Structure 1
């Protein structure tokens, strides 16, 4: 069978690419080896946010008396929390299956491998079929990086962390990026003693320093223990339910030993490129194993493309969506606008949430900009007080010379929604004047952006 386009992988990059191609009239197939939706839908973006929603509601009910509502007893049912997350996943999987069928895309299950030019084989339960294509998009995603320690029963990655059917008394998380912080917040909220081990000097090391310090303060207040400038020195399994960990503080040249019920490895992901047969057609990889592509996602071989987590860059679903659409539009001969990766939002769904886009203050200075910096705390915002969520702030960074909006960094309730205003404004090359002349509703959380910009230019009203 011959297709105009075959897409390997049905995650955010793969299924969006296939749908967009079908919309343009290409005869399209998706090859998926296991589950529709990829890691994002099945074990990442969607189910983790479901867990965090339950944890946040648990917190609200426990503290409902501050809103004038007395709840005598609040019980947590972990099985129901986990079941709800899996139900949401199943519903969204059905949605993707419907979209594939609606767009007349051929869905082929099995393991794909390039065998020769414009030809691919698919192995499904040892039954091998051959398919031919004019164009191929590789969207195989990524998998969790492995620790350099022997596998033990209670050392898990993000998938295992969402399958624990008990509330661990003690849990240790290695890594303090988005995955590590979200699991730390969830398990802390449901009653676990949580330790985070981070090799850098601060948790969330890629964020603006003030954001890192604020979330550190918040986590410590909740009782989460942060061990920075540290690494796991030794792991010893005591039994199937207990593990002894030695943690080295390489700054202070000391170490501590702890016993935990579970370890969660959140040290990042590596691309799925092995056993795809890339060497059969000479597709080049980076030193980190990602597929090399140009700005329109074409590999060094004509008609072979790659998008999503399998290429260098952001491992984010919303980036994969954009890459998929742009890649297909280029394939069919359009001239799409290239993605501005400096205007990609990064969001972390802890409580409080974190969102940022563009340059940090340090990065802006290193780039040689002279800058205006403004901040506005949610503690001074009427709507935040109404919501009972006054932790955090908005921080904005503008170029003094041209008024370019260089970056925005947020921590607080609902900021993962609020960041979109900044992304659109930056995409339109909006200056501070444009925002200040745009009336924002009162009371609203959005007002905080105006207030932060006023602060950057010495025009603060409410602080």
Structure 2
């Protein structure tokens, strides 16, 4: 079988891989993407997008429950769970086809199969044959983390996020193990549709990466929604009954107490997909550092600021290269990797700017939403920064009240001496949309005065961002 030859081969067609491929094609490279499943990766097919479609159904049900407050008489006739799931799959399917169109538009060849390195600049693709390249980009993503013998999914009673998106029926009760973004999103969805949900988190608070004040407010709101939350929880065992047993359920020991649930979701993190790639072995130099091959540490491929591995013609981006495991980060990394290849191979453009990992927005689409960028208050103080903190409550905002969304807060943290925006944290309706303003502000090094001088539209939720900044100065107007 003839060897196929490309300038750039991207292994994985997720949000990092397909974006990298498009940018490389735009820069004049002959590009191929190798994908074993659907284009769009986990994010588009089994993560970010379908979960938002599910959560939209939950949000609408919540609105219907409060219709009387708006003077509307709406009878809650329940829901068709199969249709809720089907719509989510339909949305994901449309977007995956959209990525297929983008591949054709940019003249990128899609090779279907699993890839493994068979030489320094060669891959073996199952069902396709040998593929040669000048540059390879590993964008194989990650999968749900499990702990052998303690926290393992069986796909039937104990789910990963993938099974949790396509359940055959609504469980009567649900245990969610892990109080990070994935865990609280699924807890919100299932609780809103009437499932009795218990959320357990090993650390002392849920969404532990967020500001402590935001974390505490979210816990309060989720508990109001009927979710039982156990923090500092030690899950000592988790297992399903033997096949054929009557009343199939999940047995779990939490902090020494044995409990049962109809189903359980494992949301304890992800681990990079590095297996099966036959990665080139690291070649150690005299300095003790790798001078070739691909180095893997803790299931993540080690890369430099431009996502090169120890082999300068092999790059790795997205979840397989480690934290933060976010689709928008993977996409940005893909662009930088492609532009770096063009700079090296074609002397085109300029050396790309490395991504600022201190200004990555984190978004959690539970009810209410959570979004943030930069430092938390505790981290800023621990770093020795003298800070000014501003807060503004949703209940003081006209648009929030008009929408019936009075729950939430905008919090900003500034350096007291320089006015630098160190961090921004939002809990409430459309928090995930508003955070972009603060991300952009930090990227252009806007200071406190720049935010104050900006005239924000009225009536909007975004006005709260300006009021929070004024609060840090002790000059808030509408509170």
When the two structures are superposed, what TM-score results if normalisation uses the length of structure 2?
0.93
Matches within 5 A, 1:105-254: 105-124=108-127, 129-148=129-148, 149=150, 151-152=153-154, 153-238=156-241, 239=245, 241-248=248-255
Q: 1:136 to 1:236 in 2, by over 3 A?
A: closer
Q: What CA deviation, in whole Å up to 9, does each residue of 1:384-424 have, x standing for no partner?
A: 00000010100000001111000000000001000011111
Instruction: Give distance in 2, aligned partners of 1:309 and 1:369.
Output: 31
Unpaired runs of at least 5, structure 1: 249-254
Q: Deviations over 1:271-308 (max 9, x none)?
A: 01111111357534343121110000000112010000
Does residue 81 of structure 1 match 2:84?
yes
Distance 2:248 2:191 in 1: 19
- Consecutive unaligned residues of structure 2, counting only runs of 5 or more, are 284-292, 344-349
Deviations 1:318-367 (A, max 9, x none): 11111010111111003111111111100000111000000000111111
Find the aligned partners of 2:400 and 2:418 in 1 and give their Cα distance.
32
Q: 1:441 aligns to what?
A: 457
Distance in 1, matches of 2:64 and 2:153, equals 39
1:380 matches 2:381: no
Give the corresponding residue for 1:28.
31
The equivalent residue for 1:321 is 331
Equivalent position of 1:299 in the other structure: 309
CA shift for structure 1 position 166: 1.3
CA distance in structure 2 between the aligned counterparts of 1:41 and 1:203, rounded to whole angstroms: 25
Q: How far 1:151 sits from its partner (Å)?
A: 4.9
Deviation at 1:374, TM superposition (A): 0.6
Cα deviation digits, residues 415-441 of structure 1 (max 9, x gap):
100001111111111111111111111
* Aligned partner of residue 458 in structure 2, secondary structure: coil
**Alpha-carbon distance, 1:40 to partner:** 0.1
Aligned residue for 1:390, secondary structure, equals: coil
Partners of 1:279 and 1:134 in 2: how far apart? Answer: 15
Partner of 1:265: 266
Aligned residues: 454
Q: Cα RMSD over matched residues?
A: 1.2
Aligned equivalents of 2:89, 2:270: Cα separation in 1: 22
Classify the secondary structure of the residue corresponding to 2:300: coil
- Equivalent in the alignment of 1:337: 353
1:266-285 superposed matches below 5 A: 266-280=267-281, 283-285=293-295
Q: More deviation in 328-337 or 7-16?
A: 328-337
Instruction: Indicate the SS of the match to 1:81.
Output: helix
Q: Tell me which residue corresponds to 2:297.
A: 287
Give a deviation string over 1:191-232, Cα, whole Å, max 9, x none.
011011111011111110001100100011111111111121
Match of 1:10 in 2: 13
2:445 equivalent to 1:429: yes
Q: Distance in 2 between matches of 1:302 and 1:285?
A: 12
- The alpha carbon displacement at 1:135 in A equals 0.5
**TM superposition score normalised by structure 1:** 0.96
Q: 1-side partners of 2:294 and 2:352: how far apart?
A: 25
SS at match of 2:253: strand
Q: What per-residue deviation string (whole Å, max 9, x for no partner) do you get for residues 154-210 of structure 1? A: 011000101112111110000011100000000000001101111101111111000
